[in-house]
Every structure is written in structure tokens, then in C-alpha cells.
Structure 1
Amino acid sequence: MKVNIKTKIIIFASAIGILPAVIITLMIYSQKNDVFDNLNNEIGKFSKENITQISKDVYNLCETAYTLIQQQLTASLLVSENVLKNSGGIRLSNERISWTAVNQFTKNESQILLPKMLAGSKWLGQINQLSTPVAVVDEVKKMVGGTCTIFQRMNDRGDMLRVATNVEKLDKTRAIGTFIPAVNPDGQANPVISTIMRGETFYGRAYVVNAWYQTAYKPLFDTAGEIIGIIYVGIKQESVESLRNGIMDIVVGKSGYVYVLGGKGNHRGHYILSKNGERDGEDIWEAKDSDGNFFIQSIINKSVQLKQGEVAMEQYPWKNIGEAEPRMKIAALTYFEPWDWVIGASTYEDDYSHSRTVIDEVLSGLTTYAIIISFIMLTIAVILSIALGNKIGKPIQEISNAARQVAEGDLSQKLNIVLDDEIGFLARSFNRMVENLQKLMEEVNAKNEASKEAAQAAEAAKEAAEKQHEYLSESVENILAQMDKFADGDLTVNLPVSRKDEIGRLSDGFNRSIENIRKMMKQMQIAVQTTSSASTELNLLSQELAKAADMQTDQTHDVSVAIEQMTQTIVENAKNATRSADVAKENGLLARRGGEVVEETVQKMSEIAGIVKASVKSVEKLGQSGTQIGEIVSVIDEIADQTNLLALNAAIEAARAGDQGKGFAVVADEVRKLAERTTRATKEIADKISKIQSETLEVVDAMKKGEFEVNNGISLAGNAGEALGKIVKSANDFIDMVSHIAAANEEQSTTSEQISRSIDQIKQISNESQQSVYNVSKNSNRLNELTGELSKALDKFVIDQNRQIAAKNSETVTF
């Protein structure tokens, strides 16, 4: 299907207008799913990294608190030692007192008798009321805070009984009478007692009465160096208010939180810190998720295997009270071994879906805006392209239609295009070309008629020349035939001499030879006539001579008829030669007229060369326009580079902003990718513009070659004019030649008439010879004498030829 230039302009202009927007739209649309998937992956990764970081941060908070508590414990232990020293030191009296000792783990009671423990000279007593002051321990609490306890060794195993303390029980009384067994219920040696019994200070986590404390235990010695008790200072793990509040205030995701579970021992699976502290101390070891799995056991078993700084992930479905469906929860787990804490930073996975929804809406909105902008750009591009197509394509279409009509022979076409650009110039040039073609066609038609007449005349001359050629060929054949007949003894042959060349000289010599023979024959006839009176005696011979004379008469008649026909042919040839001369003159005139037509053709081709030069300039302007478009594409490329640089800077700033800038970093990266794609697209456009420019240069070169070919055409037309001049000269020479041929034919006609008269004379002589034959018999003697003379004359010829003459004298020779 052919597409006109208007449609091409509309399509091309529309494509230029819409292509960038369509490309951007398609890129956004095609990349949307990838971006969304990447965002999902990044959000999922970010959520895991976020809760992992929160879990690590809580671990670090615990570690920091642990360090601070250890420092505080060290200071508290020094203060307690100093208070104890200032009180007079610790010692045992000789007086014993009964104690109801309660195992702090098993709660088993036993009755024992122990010496009173004195601080200086003052018994510490068995005070369990918080309102009653107790020496040393209450003074330490006032000075440094925390808890302080003095233990007394119960037995050789090292069981230690609390005899003075400010540690509170659940009933708000002092926790005296409880003891730390040397062996835990699980059969393992109690680490506190083991350390003390080695004479060392124990720092660490310990279960004190009914809670876990960060503690410091230091052995107390008597004067003999024996361990008699322990001085203890401690801080309840949950009592660090800033740590507790800091952990409970952490929000993971949208609705998540941080919890702490016990990892080992009796408090395994118990809430140490729960959401808002609502479930602290609750045992959830047997808790199941919505699928029936013991997820708490899985969390704790997995966590206690972790090393310092390691984080494990756990996913499980969880359904809160009042919710219809369970939601998937994700937790980042760490294990703080000094406190046996399983730290879990958990949240629902859909807490991060809001970001996905927002980004999806942004991408959808961006796609919608791109489509709307593409539609607007398409509408504007189509409107502008239609206007441009009408402005450029319509005049070109008119020129194309008019040119097609002219090509089909309609020279009445005229363009009414009034423009000041190349199209207007082309239209005006087209009108001038049509006018010139009209004039040229009028002249060509007129000259065509003359050419037809000249062609007819030339055809007639050609036919005449062919006839002349045939005539010459026949003349040569006749010469050969006459010579053959002469060789056979036919003495009636005669060749016309029309030219003074070798053939003419040959024919003249042949004719003179025949003439001599004829003269000899006449002498013979005279001799025969002289002897006719004596031929009576030779009756038989006379009869034969009579028959020969009859035959000669017939042959002479035949020759006369042939000579007359030949004379008519020669006369007709003379007339044809005259007409050929006239036709040749007319051909010369037509050739001169053809030379004039060639000169006019050269002039018109010069005008065409001017039009071609103007077209070359127009195409060169088109190449300059392509260069300007290339400059515009370069500007777009520079803008894309700047956009890429800005996107890179934005990505750097987003990276500096940390987690808060990750979403913007993704957008900046996409902008950078779009800038890179724009750069590639502009490079492709630049390559196409470069190709158009190169093709334009090729068109310019082709049109310059066309201009060169037109100049060659002008040169060839000039050569054709020179050739026609030579043809005119040759035609004049041909006229002269034909005139000579006509004159020669006239001479041949005159000669043939002379031959005809000679044949008539021969015919008359033959008749006389026939009469003379009858007189031969009158005088045989005279015949004998004349026969002798005839024999002498015939000795000049070949005997066999004379016999052939005698044998073939009845044949007729025709020309």
C-alpha cells in the first residue's frame, strides 16, 4: 500500500511527539510490576532488617544496662564492705539461736541452730518487718540503693541463710530465713555457692527469693580465715526503670512490640517483659499458634542456641482476642545470656503493607499521569502534524497529481500554489516547465510531421537504393552471363558501359572484341554473298546456310526484344535515380531542421540543469535542518545527563539519611534509570538523525551527479548537432552521387537505344544474308574462293569456339 507524503508527515510528526511519552509510559508500565516486586522484596527485607536491628538494639540496651549495673554493683559492694567495717566487722557469737530455714527454690523448711551473727558487738537479729531498721543492710540501701543481704553459713556444704536483708517478699516482709542451697533442685551445684566456697566474689545473675537479680556476692571470713557468710548487693533486673520503659516503648512496625521471655531454669517460658507489662510473669511455655504449634517452645529453643550478636527469625500465625482471622507474625530473636533473656522483636507482616499500598498508588498515579500526558501529547502532535501535513503534503500532493497528469500527456495542468518557500518555488518551476513542454511539444509535433515525411522519403530512397543495388547485382550477373554466352560462341552479346572504371573498361574491351568479331562476320557474309552466285552447285550446303540464316533471323528478333526491354528498364532506372536525388535533397533539409531541434533541446536541458541546481540547494537546506534537529537532540541528551547526575546526588543524600531515605533512594534510582534510558533513546535518535543527514548528503551527491549527467546530456546533444551537420553534409554528397547515377542511367538509356538500332541493322543484314544464301548455289567456284577468305578470317579465332557458334547460333541472348 502506497502512503502519500502528507500521511508520512503526519505519522512522522505524531511519532516524534508521542514516542517519548509512549516510551516513558511503557517503561513505567512495564517496570511497574518489577518495581513493585522489588519494593515488596525490599520492604520484606527492610522489615526483617528493621526488626533485626530493633532486636539487636534491645540486646545492646541490655548489654549497656548490664555494664552499668555491674559498675553499680561493684560500687555498692565496696560501700557495703565499708559500712560493715565501720560497724565493727562481722563475727559469730557463742550464743545460738533457732532458725526456720526455707529453701528458696523448693520452699522446704528445716529447723536449725546457728550462732548469732554480730556486726561489731550488735546482733543482727531476726527482723522481718520493713519498718524495723536493720544494721548494715538498711544503711547500704540508703547510701547506694538496691538490695543488700548478709548470709550466714549453715553447714559444711555451704548452704547460706539470709539473716539480715532488705529484700522484700511478696507479703512485704523481709526475706530472712530463706537460704541458697549449695545444690540446685536439678542436682547441679549452685554457681553462687561454688564461687563463694572457693573464696571468690560472684558477679552475675541470681535468683533471689522470688525474682532474678543482678548480683555481687563476696565471702565473709572470721579471724581464722574460715568462710562464715556472704555479703550481697544486688539490683533487680526488672527494676532498671529506664531499661524496662525503653523496651516497652519500642514499637515494631505499625503495631508490633518487644517482649522478653525466660530462656532456662524455672522461669523458662515465662514473660519477663510483656506488651505494656500486662502479662509479666505469665507462663506461656505451652502456648500454641493458630495452627496448633508450640511456637514459644520453638522460639526459646532456637534462641538459647544463639551466640552473642546472632539473630534468628521466627514466623508464626497469631490471632488476638477479638480478631476474626489469624495474621502472620514475624519475630527477630536474640539471647542475652547474662540475664537468660530471650528477646523477641515481633510485628505483623502486614504492618509494612501500607508502604506497599502507598508506593503502588504512587506508581499507578504516575502511570495514569503518563498516559494522560501521552494522550495530550498525541493530540497536540496529531493536530500539529495534520496542520503541517496539510501545509506541506497538500501542495506536494497537488504537484504530484499534476506531474502524474503531465506524465500521462495532459499538458494543460497548472498549479495555483502561492507560497514563498521551496514548495512555492517548485510549483512555479513546474508551471514554467509545463509551459515550456507545451511549446516544445508544439514544435516537436510540427517537426514530427516533417520527420514523418522525411522518413517516408528516406524509405523511398532506401527502396530506390535497394533497387539500384539489385540492378547493379543483376548487371554483374548479366556481365558474367554474357561472358558465359560469349564463351559459348554467342556473338550477339553486348555490355553497356556506364562508368569509366575497371568494369567499364572491361565492358568496353568486351564490346570492342565483339565488334571486331562482328566485322569479321560481316566480311564473311560479304564473302558468302560474293560466292552466292556459285552456290548452285552446292545445293545441300545452301540449304543448311538457309536454315542457319533463318535461325539467325529469329535470334536477332529475340535480341531486339530483349534490348527493348533493357532500354525500358534503364529509362525507368534513370527516372528513379532522378526521384532519389529529389528525396535526398529533402532529407538534407530535414537533417538541417533536426540540427535546429537539437540546438533547442540543448537550451531546454540547460534550463533543466538550472532546476536541478535549485533542487540541490533545497536538499542541502534539508540537511541543515537535520543538523539543527541533531543539536536539539544534543540538548535533550545534556538534560538527561543532568537528570542522571541529580538522581545520583539524590541517591547519595538518601543513603546518608539512612532508613528514612530508603524509599526516596528507590525513587531516585528509578529516575536515574529513566534518565539513562532517555540518554540511550536520544543517542538512538541522534544516530537516526545522523543517518538522515548522511542520506541527505547522498541525495545531494546524487542530484549533483544528475546535474553532471544533464551537462553531459547537453554535451551529447551538442555532439548530436555536430553529427546531424555531418549527416547533412553526407546527404549533400549522396545527392551528388545520385545525380551522377541518374546521368549514368541516361547515358545507358542512350547506349541501349543505339544497341537496339544496331540489332535492327543486324536483323536487316540477317535477312539479306538469308537472301544471299539462295544465291550460293549460283557459283560454287566463287564460293570456294570466298570460303578460303572466310577460313583465313576465322583463323583468328579458336576452332572449337567456331564450332560452338555454329552449334548454338539458334539460341537467344537476353539482357
Structure 2
Amino acid sequence: MRQAGITTIIAASVAVTILAGVAVLVLYASNSSFTMTRQVQENALAQAAAITAQSAETYLKGTASVAESLAGQDAIQAAFTGDAPKARERLRTYIAAYKDYFSFFLFDATGTIIAGSTSEGKDLTGGDRKERDYVKAILAGQDLVFSNSVFKAATGNELIYVVAKAVRDANGKLLGGVAACPLWNRFTAATIDPIRFGQQGYGFMLDDSGHMIAHPLDKSLLLQDVSQVESTKKALALHNGTFDYDWKGEAKVMSVARVPTTGWIVCMSADAGEMMTPAAKQRSVLIGVGLGVAALAVLVIVLINRRLVLGPLLALNEFTRQVGSGDLSASLNGSFRAELAVFAGHLRQMVGELKTKLGFAQGVLNGIPSPCGIVGPDFTMVWVNQEICDLLEKRDARQSAVGQRSGAFYNNDANRQTLSDRAIQERRPLAAEIDYTTPSGRKLRVAVRTTPFYDLDDNLLGSISFWTDLTQIHEQKQRIEEQNIVIAQTAAQASAVADRVAAASEELSAQIEQSSRGAEEQNARVQETATAVEEMNATIMEVARNASDTAGHTELARDKARHGAQLVGEVETAVAAIREEAVVLTDNMQSLGQQAQGIGTIMGVISDIADQTNLLALNAAIEAARAGEAGRGFAVVADEVRKLAEKTMHATKEVGQAITGIQRGTSDAVSRVDRAVSRVGTASELAARSEAALGEIVTVVEAAGDQVRAIATAAEQQSATSEEINRSVESISAIAAETSQAMHQSAQAVSDLARQANDLNSLMAQLRETDPPQKALS
């Protein structure tokens, strides 16, 4: 609710003071007026009731005089002695003269009408009235009697009452009575019905039993018994006086007066509100005058104060309002006098100091780079920065956050207690790491630190909270831990693979060394075979020359033939040995090819291990780079692993190339050895045939002359075959030399591979002994 300004307060104070005085005067005058008006109105009611009762008394007495007048006349007296016609005539005369009467009649001592007439000319003679109250009263000895109440006439709707006068003879004997019946309507129409008090006030009459005998408004109430009505009871009990009563929820005032002759009650009723109408009007006038005077006084005072006091105060108020709303650049304008000038100077000085301190505080708040929020002592948000709105995904929340419950802002649950609420309740700093889910479903790991702060009077102002997003660090920690497990497993696998590679390398090295020795031995045997083939070739050439020279010397030919047969046997033996060596060489070459293929398979496994190790080292280097300074030691280890993997891949590639060369050379050597074996087989067959021929030469030396030319030709063919075998043996020797050189290179490559496998195993051991990255991070 807006507070009233000082202008309003001054005006209200003056107005209240003046209005209080006016109200006192108006209240006194109004109460006095109401009291006087009430008294006047009540007196008027009482006077009206008394006057009307007096009029009724007078009217009743007047009708009684008429009855008494009739009772004393001779014509009336004569009717009781038997001379009724004169009496009837006299009664007609009276009914004609008195228009306000309904009838006149005479009744004897038995209550029988002996003469009588109505205003309508009806003869009442012979009527029986002995049961009427007034007849009974006359016959009982009363001299003048009024009927107990009014009643309807026998004919028509007229209300009448009866006044009866006893008729006596000269000796005082009761003869009967004379009765006059006045029209009661004529009296009430002239006296009761015209009376009005305002719009709702009127008069009415009751008989002494509580029956309504006169009412100006509701004629249906006439002759009705209203004795049970509360106001009727009071009227009958009071007889004379004034009292208040309620009628259908409205306040009424009634004055009553008793008619002495009959005991009937005249009632004058008025509405209490209408009675006070003059006083109310007077009060309204007094209130209007008082308000006018008060308004004029307030206006004069306000105008004077506005110029001298309120104008400068409004300027000060506007200045403080602008400063209070955050506009510290506002200027204080206006003319100030006396104390207000001093106040304005102090106010300017205060605002300057506020600018300095608030600027510092606002600068500190605006300069906070971390997500931050401030909760007031009532657990509602009083300030948030954009960073915490962005972190918690509160769009446009910085404007609407102020005033929210801290639980509603931080957790979307106004009933939830936050760490800031606890810090305010416990009045101590608190910190915690919590898992937070944003409206979009993103999972955050945040560190919350909150601390209460106080003003200069040590009053609690609230709690300031700083939120730190640890999600990436937490995720990196988890990834590093997972990578540690993977690296440890990989290191164990790499160590096992390195052990297997080292063992395979040693076994391969031993096989290559054995193959190298076999190749060297094969080369030596091939050299020996070449020498033997050269000797055989020289021998064959010599046999050819000798055959040509000894065509005529049979004996010499026979000896030479024997010798040749012996030499052919030796050649056959040497060729068989060469063939066996060639077969062994072929088997060795095939085994060497299979071993080279096994080495190639192992090199593929080592290459895959090196690729995987290089990939793991690269991933480890990436995660270490993400970890920053804490992961530098792990990055160095990962780089060494990567370099070792690259060396392993390079050495594996070289060994693979060497093994490929060995496989090609071995395959070529196997092919050549197969051809050499085939040639040696051919030579063996030729040698066998030569031995058979020489045997035939020995047995048929006599026919040698004819066959010398054939022998020479065969020798030449053997020489050519020997030369071809020699060339094959030289080729096999060259292949064996190349195989031996390739085996030496393979042995060196396998040695390098074994050394690198040992280095890899050592590096894995060192990697297992290195502190895990999370330890460094901690």
C-alpha cells in the first residue's frame, strides 16, 4: 500500500484537527437538536393524543346531554304510561334534527323497545335489547351508561355506540331508558382520520379491551382484537404517556391518552426517523458548513506550506526516490531555506558517499566471473548473475528470479531447502559437491560454496553462493581412470605379446642361424660338386681325344675302356651324391620358405600390436593434453610409447621386406634346385649308360673300332651335359650365397626385433610403475 506524502499528512492533520472541532460542535448541536426535536415531537404527539381524547370526551358528553334531554321530556315520560305515539313523533323529530345520529329508541324495564326510529326511517318498536350491556346497566340501576365499545349498526356499515339514560317517574321508579346512537364514523372522520405526523405517522383509537375502534388507513382493522400486539399492551397499560416500539422492523414512537368517560385509548403514532428529520437536516447543514470551513482552512494551510516547506520536500523526495531506484546520477534541484538547505547539502554528501560505496559493491558483483547467487534472510533470491542463469539453463530468469524462493530458483521446488538456506540457518559457511540436472536433461557435477554475510551492525543480510562447474574435470577424471584401466590391460597384453615376440624372435633367430649354417654347408657342397663336374668334364674331353687317338689300339682302348668304366662309376657315385644334396637343399629351402612365412605372420601380429600401441599412445597423449599440467608426465610416457611403437612398426616393416626377399629367393632357389636335380638325374642315367657302353667296349673291344666314333660322339655329348651341369651348379652356388646373405640379414633383423620387444616390455613395466594420472591430478 502506498504511503501518504507529507503534504497529505499535514493536510490530513489540519483537516482532522478542524474536523474534530467541527465534529464536536456538530455533534453537540446535533445531539441538542435531536433531543429538542424529540421532545418537541413527543410533546406534539402527547398534545395531539390529549386533545383528541378531550375531543372524544366532549363528544361523548354531548351525546349524553342529548340522551338526558330526551329522558326529561314529558312525551318520553308518557310513552312509558302507554302514550307512545307522541314519543315516536318526538324521536323522529330528533333523528331529523341530529344528522350525526343513527337512531333513537326507548326501552322498558324488560328491555323491549317501546318506541324508536333510525335515520333511515325504520321503526324499531318491539325490538328486544335486554341482552345489551348498556340495557343491563340501566336496568341494574345506573343512571347514564355508554356502550363498552363501538359496533356496526344493524343496517349498513356505519359504526355506532350507544349512550343510554335511565327514565324514572316522579317517585323515582325506574321505568326504562332512552338510548341515543351517535355515528362514530362521523366523529373519527373529523378528529382521528386527518391527523398525520410526517409520511408515516397517524392516530387511532382502542376501546378498553384492545379492540380497534378507529384507524385512518386500514379500515379492515376496525373492531379487530389487537390486544395481543406488544404496542397495544403498552398503550392499554400506560393509559397516558409516550413510549417507543418497533413495528415491522421500524422504530416508532407512540403517545396515548385515555378518554375518562369510556376508558377508550387515543393513540398517536409517528416514525422515529421522520420525527428527527428536522434535526437531521440541521445536522446536515452543520456538517456541510463545517466541512466547507475545514476544506478552506486546509487549502490555505496547504498552499502556504507547499510554497515554503512542501515544495522543497517534494524536490528532496524526488531526488531520494531517483537515488533509491538506482539512479545515482540524479541531481537535486530547487530552492532550499534554513534547515532544508543544510539537509539538502547533507543529502548530496550522503549520495556522493553512496555512489562510491555502491559503485564499489556493484562493481564487485558485476565483476564476479563465476556463477553466483545471493539469498536473503527470508530464503528468497535477491540477486543472480547471468553466469548462474546460463549454467542452470534459466532463460530470462535474471529479471524474474528476484523474490523467488531459493529452492524454486535452484531446484524448481519452493519447498526444498538449499545449501544457502542451511548456511543462513546455521550462520556458517558450507560447501558441497552435488549432481545437478538441468531442464534440458544435461547432467552437471558442480561444487557449491556458500557463506553468510552481515551488515555493519552484524545483522544477517543473506548468503552468497558460488557455483563451480566440475563436469568436464569429473568426466576427464572418469575417462582417465577408464583409460588407466585400458592402458594397464593394454600394457599387460603388450607385455605378454612382447614376451611372445621375444620368444618367437629367439626361436626364429635360432632357425635362421641353423638355415644360414645349412646354406653355407650347401654352398660348400655345391663348390665341391662344381669342382668334381669340372674334373669330370676334363676327363670326358680327354676320353674323347683318347678315343680318337686309340681307334687302332684295341688293347689300349680296352684298358682305357675299363678305366673309363671305373671313372663313369665314380661319376655316377658323385652325381648320386649331388642329387641327394640337391634333394636336401630343396627340403631346406622349402622349410626356410615356411619359416619365412611364419616370420611374416609373426611380423603381422607385431605390426598390429605396434599399430594398437601407437593408437593407445595417441589417445593417452590427447587425454593428457586435456588434463593440462597435471597430465604432462603421462604425456611424456605416452610419447615414448608412441615412438617405440613407430620404431617397432619401422623394424617390422624392414623385417617384413627382408623376409619377403628371402621368400622370393628361397622360392627361386627351390625352383633352380629342382631343375638341377632333374639335370643330375639325366646325368646319372647317362653315366649308367656310359658304364654299360664301356662294359660292352671291354667285352667287344674287337668291335671298338667301329664304335669309337660313337664313343667320341657320346663323350662330346657328355662334355656338353657336364658343362650344363657345371653352369647349374654355379647357379645353385650363387643362390646358396644369396640365401646365406639373406639369412644373415634376417638374423640381424630378428635380433633387432627381439631387442625392440625387450625395450617394449621394459617400457610397459615402467608404464605400470608410473603414478596414475588421477594421482597427479589430485
Which TM bucket (shorter chain)?
A: 0.3 to 0.5
Provide the TM-score with structure 2 as the length reference: 0.33
Provide the TM-score with structure 1 as the length reference: 0.31
Considering Cα pairs closer than 8 Å and 6+ residues apart, tell me whether 1 or 2 has the greater RCO.
1
Pick the structure with greater CA Rg. Answer: 2
